[in-house]
Amino acid sequence: MEIPAQDAAHMARAVALAGHGHGTTSPNPVVGCVVLDAGGQVAGEGFHAYAGGPHAEVVALAQAGERARGGTAYVTLEPCDHTGRTGPCSLALLAAGVARVVIAVPDPNLRAAGGLARLRAHGVSVTSGVLGAEAERVNEEWLTYARLGRSHVTWKFAATLDGRSAAEDGTSQWITSAAARADVHRMRAAADAIVAGIGTVLADDPHLTARPGSASAPVPDGPASLSSAVGGTPFGAVASPADVAGGAEGRLGAGRAAPTSQARPGGGAAGGRRPLRVVVDTRGRTPQDARVLDDAAPTLVAVAEDAGTGLKADLLRLPRHGRGLDLEALLEELAAREVVSVFLEGGPTLAGEFLRRGLVDRVVAYLAPALLGSGRAALGAAGVGTIGEMHRLTFDEISPIGPDVRLIARPATQPGREQ
């Protein structure tokens, strides 16, 4: 399908706006909207900023006012057609008198879908599939959650250039720089849950909290960076209230009005979130005094359903799978708790199991310009017996982070995620 240049340009802008909702909308999707008046001029813009807050269409229509009548709305996800914490966006578009609606991705959530059918039934011209791949990418966490019924998984690791995550004596602090570690904290803050295995807990006693203000690091930019969101917020970067209020003209495009301030009441940027901490601990061996069990953030310890443990913690009992736990069941249980995105930091063994079972949706690697030659590998056994069974990836981004490099990649094939 050949896309008119105007449709592509305005949808690209909507995709960029959607990216500003990363880390604050869960369990809702990120959505962006651009409204043109009848003469084809931009009249309003908006994005969904937080669950329970106004949807992108409502924000953009409010900014457009009467200029929306007879105009066109560009929306990255099909307008909802149900009443939840807010009313149906399909009805809002009809009430505003919009004559045409252009969307990128149909809504896979059957409870909310139907907006396009309602709009067509009332004489609104509808175009679907414009920049669908770009809109899929900016909203991939939620689309995985909605389509597959499980949490989306990003596996993060830090290593030397020869792939070592710890020295021969087990020491690993610090392979990467303070700038890279600060970037990790920003990514943690944008996730709903941080997952680690019992091996990591016993070896390192990690805190597994998100502390995005603990150090400063530049957001990747420049010719070496390949952004995963078209013109949007780079993955892991979180739009601050200042970015979405009046001072954002430079970031949102010269000569373009910034969207109406949409910060969550009380501050609402991802830096104030406390992602759920999850320990995958088949036999329930987490020490009672482990830092991951303090009150800095909620914690869930996943154990085998038949594990005998006296651990005093919030336990999630799961079926066994081989020598470990059923990780598919773990992700389904987390999704049932409205955990849309998981940030996996769980050591080589757990990462290998996630990869073996096809449960890694994205890989974020921080590589330091250093060599160890021996020591712990970043990835354990992952079900590969011969070269033809390699888990092949495609790169989304290559970015300098201080003296290190951040690589973002995803499996070359991801059945069920893009439909």
Q: What is the CATH number of the domain that holds 400?
A: 3.40.430.10
The structure's pTM equals 0.83
Buried b (16+ CB within 10 A) or exposed e, 29-61: bbbbbbbbbeeeebbbbbbbbbbebbbbbbbbb
**Domain shared by 296 and 370, yes or no:** yes
Q: Are residues 302 and 333 in the same domain?
A: yes
Per-residue pLDDT, 213? 63
| Domain count for the chain | 2
pLDDT at residue number 419: 44
| Residues 256 and 203 occupy one common structural domain | no
User: Per the domain annotation, does 143 fall within a domain?
Assistant: no
Do 11 and 102 have their domain in common?
yes
How many whole angstroms separate alpha carbon 244 and alpha carbon 253?
12
Q: Decide: residue 384, CB within 10 A, 0-12 exposed, 13-18 middle, 19+ buried.
A: middle
Provide the mean pLDDT of the chain: 83
- Cα–Cα distance between 183 and 108 in angstroms, integer? 32
Looking at residues 246-255, what average pLDDT do you find?
A: 29
Segment 88-93 shows an average pLDDT of 92
The DSSP bridge partners found for residue 394 are: 410
291-337 tens-digit pLDDT? 999 999 999 999 999 988 888 999 999 999 988 999 999 999 999 99
Residue 26 lies in a domain: yes
Positions marked catalytic: 57
Does residue 222 sit within a domain? Answer: no
Confidence of residue 34 (pLDDT cuts 50, 70, 90): very high
Strands 299-304, 315-318: pairing is parallel
393: number of Cβ within 10 Å: 16
Please give the helix or strand (H or E) that residue 111 lies within, else none: none
369 and 234 co-located in one domain? no
125 within a domain of the structure (yes/no): yes
Contact 272, 298 (CB under 8 A): no
Count of other CB atoms within 10 angstroms of residue 395: 12
Cα(409)–Cα(404) distance, rounded to whole angstroms?
16
Read off φ and ψ for residue 222, nearest 5 degrees. Answer: 100, 180
Q: What is the DSSP letter of 159?
A: E
The Cα–Cα gap between 158 and 340 comes to 24
**Same domain membership, residue 402 and residue 283:** yes
Residues 259 and 131 occupy one common structural domain = yes
In a shared domain, residues 97 and 191 = no
CATH number at residue 86: 3.40.140.10
Least confident of 109-123, 127-141, 213-227, 241-255: 241-255
In angstroms, the CA 412 to CA 44 distance is: 37
Report the distance separating Cα 419 and Cα 416, nearest Å. Answer: 7
DSSP reduced 3-state for 384: coil
Question: Is 241 in the same domain as 288?
Answer: no
Q: Is residue 259 part of a domain?
A: yes
Q: What tokens were used for 341? A: 């995105």
Task: Indicate whether 91 belongs to any domain.
Answer: yes
- Residue 363 falls inside a structural domain: yes
> What is the 8-class DSSP label of residue 258?
P
Domain membership of residue 347 as a residue range: 149-210+273-411
Cβ(354)–Cβ(330) below 8 Å? no
Note whether residue 306 is domain-resident: yes
| Closest-CA residue to 205 (of 279, 308, 316) | 279
Is the pLDDT at 33 greater than 80, yes or no?
yes
Say which residue the tokens 């036999």 belong to: 283
Lowest mean pLDDT among 7-11, 140-144, 252-256: 252-256
Residues 167 and 293 in one domain: yes
Q: Are 320 and 305 in contact (CB under 8 A)?
A: yes
Residues 281 and 232 in one domain: no
Q: Check whether residue 160 and residue 188 sit in a common domain.
A: yes
Angstrom CA distances, 116 to 40, 80, 188, stand at: 21, 9, 35
CA dihedral 335, 339, 343, 344 (to 10 degrees): -40
